[in-house]
Amino acid sequence: MINQKFIPFFVILGGSILLLISFGIRHSFGLYLLPISNFLGTGREVFGLASALQVLMIGIGSPLFGGLSDKIGAGKASFLGIVITLLGLLWMSNVETSFDIIASQTLYGLGAAGCGTAVVLGAVGRSVNAENRTLFLGIVMAAGSFGQFIMVPFAGYLIEISGWSQSLIYLFYIASIMLIFSFLLNISGKSEASKAGTNQTIKEALKEAFQSKSFNLLSLGFFVCGFHVTFVAVHFPAFIEDQNLPFWVGGWSLALIGIFNVVGTLYFGYLGDRFSKKNLLALLYFLRSLLFFIFIFLPKTELTVLLFACILGVLWLSTVPLTSGIITVLFGPYYMSLLYGIAFFSHQIGSFFGSWMGGRLFDIYGSYEIMWWCSVGLGLIASLMHLPIKEEIAPRLAIKI
Amino acid sequence: MAIIIVSTALFLCWIWIEITLIVVNKLSSHSFNFNKNLHKNFSWILRFIVILMFLMVIIYMYFFDYGKFSDAIQFCLGAIR
């Protein structure tokens, strides 16, 4: 029997390691674009399509694994996700045709949903007390951000010393570490908080969520987060190159986004326990819009681009602890993985459009200006959409209290 | 030159974060559950993380050259060679 006091610690530790490794590996795949495309002789389009499908599969898989996690336990659901992830990596290291790369990335995307934010944040949300919940969600997300920060250069180093195929085998070994830590997530089911709302079925939980105006607005707002983040992540390095800035600016920009992403996620997680989460989200989207708006008119020098990267880093994934925190406030922690998974699906659709529209509009107009303006507009809409959200617990939970 | 520009950007952004930390301190100070020590500790944790990660990036950018790094490992662990 585990002491209730230690449950949050073990779940946060397990969740942090899972997100650190899975986020890190997933964000390293960009490094494989050129070597795998060259090996297959297919051009970049096939790998680009495979990556887009991977993003979509994470979105589709998140509510599925979320529901599974809420029913059978986060540890078992994430274990299944990790096994699928490992199969995807193994397949990817042995690609011979275009079909192999598309199928292996799709499989990896499905598995990554199982050991991603929906399952992990749900487990953490169930294990910690309500007073510091957003901060703890922020800590786990910061670990994921840190994973991106350290794993990407490490994967680059592995490719350099051992070649792309062998480096994927090394990543397979690193990913298998997650299997051990997935067991820690199982403990979340033993916490007191997880027992609230257990008499509700999945169907009832979904009906309640979709009838809630606040949940729908929150999910729509999350679409904009995905749009912003993926547009910048995919197209910003190319944008910097178009501005004829020195080559080091691209690398440093991504590094600064990584540093301030960790800081921002922790900071907004901390603020979420002290101020209204929906007001913080409205502020966050407004600040993103303001930042994009100012950036459009600023001369693109080394300093302005790097400063933009720093501030954007603060606002990068800070939406996640606040969004997941609001979902827990609205519906309680029991079906958090499922409901966050649905909101995250909206995020991934936004990601798809951010990546695809960026390339499409650039091909048509020869610049990213329209995309920057779209980002400004969508940010303002998302900011306004968060204002009517009511951070009130569902009536069935209020009656219990 | 690059490191001066990067440090300036980081410093300017950090000023903004420090201002928000002061504003949060002022806004929350009247709240009944506001813990001043926790806020102070949290501020120091953020500062520590930024400095640590910045140093890590500097080390990576300037010393983690692939060729040099593998040479260094081979030099330190002569058995590999």
DSSP string, A145-159: HHHHHHHHHHHHHHH
Q: pLDDT tens digits, residue range A226-274?
A: 999 888 877 787 788 788 888 678 777 877 888 888 899 889 988 988 8
pLDDT computed for residue A154 by the predictor: 80
pLDDT at A349 over 60: yes
User: To the nearest whole angstrom, how far is the Cα of A17 from the nearest Cα of chain B?
Assistant: 18
Q: What percentage of chain A has pLDDT greater than the value 90?
A: 38
With residues binned 3-state (H G I as helix, E B as strand, rest as coil), the percentages for chain A, rounded to 5, are: 85, 0, 15
Distance from CA of B50 to the nearest CA of A (A): 7
Q: Does B46 sit within 8 Å of A267, measured CB to CB?
A: yes
Per-residue confidence band for B33, with pLDDT thresholds at 50, 70 and 90: low
Tokens (6 digits) for A321: 């602890």
A248 touching B (Cβ < 8 Å): yes
**Residue B31: helix, strand or coil by DSSP?**
coil
- Cα A85 → chain centroid: 16
Q: Do B10 and A302 touch (CB under 8 A)?
A: no
Is the Cβ pair B13, A314 closer than 8 Å? yes
CA distance A377 to A302: 26
Residue B74: the pLDDT is 45
| pLDDT band at residue B53 under the 50/70/90 scheme | confident
- In the block, residue with structure tokens 């090996």: A39
A199-217, pLDDT tens digit by residue?
Answer: 778 888 888 888 889 999 9
Query: Quick one: pLDDT band at residue B52, thresholds 50, 70, 90?
Result: confident
Whether ipTM tops 0.85, in short, is: no
Give the pLDDT confidence of A312-347 residue by residue, as tens digits. 999 988 998 899 889 988 888 888 888 888 999 999
- Neighboring chain A residues of B5 at a CB cutoff of 8 Å: 302-303, 306
In whole angstroms, give the CA distance from residue A266 to residue A245.
Answer: 31
R_g of chain B computed on alpha carbons? 20
Contact at CB, A153 and B60, closer than 8 angstroms: yes
Q: What does the pLDDT read at residue B75?
A: 46
Cβ(A14)–Cβ(A119) under 8 Å? no
Which among B13, B50, B54 has the least Cβ separation from residue A307?
A: B13
Closest approach of A248 to chain B, Cα-based (Å): 8
Give the gap in angstroms from C-alpha A256 to the nearest C-alpha of chain B: 8
Residue from B1, B3, B4, B5 whose CB has the most chain A CBs within 10 Å, to mutate: B5
Q: Does position A188 have pLDDT exceeding 60, yes or no? A: yes
* Angstrom distance (rounded) from CA A64 to CA A193: 22
Cα–Cα dist A12/B50, whole Å: 22
Average pLDDT over residues A303-313: 92
